[in-house]
Amino acid sequence: MRSSGYVLLAVLWTAVFAVGQAGLPQAPHMGTIEGTVVDINGGTVPKATVVLQGASTNDHRVLQTDDNGFFRFDGIEPGISHAVQVSASGLKSWTSDAIVLKPGQSFIVSGIVLAVAPVETSVNAVTQAEVAVEQVKQQEKQRVAGIIPNFYVSYDHDAVPLTPRLKFRLALKALTDPVTIAAFGMNAAIYQAAGYPSYEQGAAGYGKRLGATFAGGYSKILIGDAVLPSLLHQDPRYFYQGTGTTKSRLLHALSTPIFTRGDDGRREINWSDLGGDIASGALANAYYPKQDRGGSLVVRSALIGMGGRAAMGVFQEFVLRKMTTHSGDSH
């Protein structure tokens, strides 16, 4: 029994060895799919990823092209739809039409040409209105010595025009600032000391003068810097020149009461500020004491307004730029 066992073992070992040496023959009905991947210039594409996709999502095989751009799938069952998908870095992917092999067929996939992939760029479209909002946010930080509001000056000569909404926003920002309110109180105190307008003295008189100061300031800024600029399409800001001769800068500053920039960028008569001064003076006739009313009040309001803007323009051009915080680095 022991010797017969050795013989059986030897026979089995010989059979296994013979099969191993001969290999298992491929079923004759299986087919192959092969091809060569090239780019648009005719050069072969090595290391391209090739996927053979069967009828189901789980039926797929993946390989890479060799150094000559060649690939080959063996042992493909006939009668089943397959597709070849090719991709490579920096090139557009390519997919074949459906391929259904006949038994034993060797199919060569032709026309595998990978074009250069388009460069995808992300462009953020920013509107002028959005740019204007950011500019106003910057202007609302501008303060002389870090304290006094200096919102109505643009240090960007090419600033985009303000929308009506932003013109009102800037006006309300200036009017509700604590420093502005404190300045109104000081102005009323100066009027109290000068006895103008002709209200009585004491707390009651100061209260009336304070009310008149608020009414005049609010009407002037709201009408001259928001309402009329919106209706007339004019920009209420002072545009800092900063360059050129001293004479040209001085003329630019002094012309502020007469000329302004339109929303279209053109130089125009400053009807907005002039109209604001006149409207403020006309409204003052409704609450000033009788002896202070009249046409002279309107004229005086307009002249004071023009003189004040001319003086402020000179200060903006030659003094306040260096004293203003958060004024940007445009110049």
Instruction: Note the pLDDT tens digit of each residue in 265-316.
Output: 999 999 999 999 999 999 999 999 999 999 999 999 999 999 999 999 999 9
Report the pLDDT value the prediction gives residue 124, as an integer from 0 to 100: 58
Counting Cβ atoms within 10 Å, is residue 97 exposed (0-12), middle (13-18) or buried (19+)? exposed
* Crossing angle (nearest 10°) for helices 164-176 and 128-139: 10
Residue written as token pair 């091809």: 35
Q: What is the CA radius of gyration of the chain?
A: 43
Report the pLDDT value the prediction gives residue 6, as an integer from 0 to 100: 33
The amino acid at 76: I
Beta bridge partners of 114: 39
Report the pLDDT value the prediction gives residue 327, as an integer from 0 to 100: 76
Strand, coil or helix: 317: helix
Omega before residue 25 within 30° of 0, cis = no
Report the pLDDT value the prediction gives residue 120, as an integer from 0 to 100: 57
Domains in the chain with CATH codes: 28-114 (2.60.40.10), 128-325 (no CATH)
Backbone angles phi, psi at 13, to 5 degrees: -65, -40
To the nearest whole number, what is the mean pLDDT of the chain? 88
Tens of pLDDT, residues 55-98: 887 788 888 999 999 999 988 989 999 999 999 988 999 999 99
Q: Where are the alpha helices (DSSP H) in the chain?
A: 2-22, 128-139, 164-176, 178-194, 202-222, 228-232, 246-254, 271-284, 295-315, 321-323
* Stated pTM of the model: 0.62
* Crossing angle (nearest 10°) for helices 271-284 and 202-222: 150
CA-CA distances (angstroms) from residue 270 to 161, 281, 316? 16, 17, 18
CA angle 99–31–70, rounded 5-degree value: 75
Backbone angles phi, psi at 8, to 5 degrees: -60, -45
Segments in the chain below pLDDT 70: 1-28, 119-126, 328-331
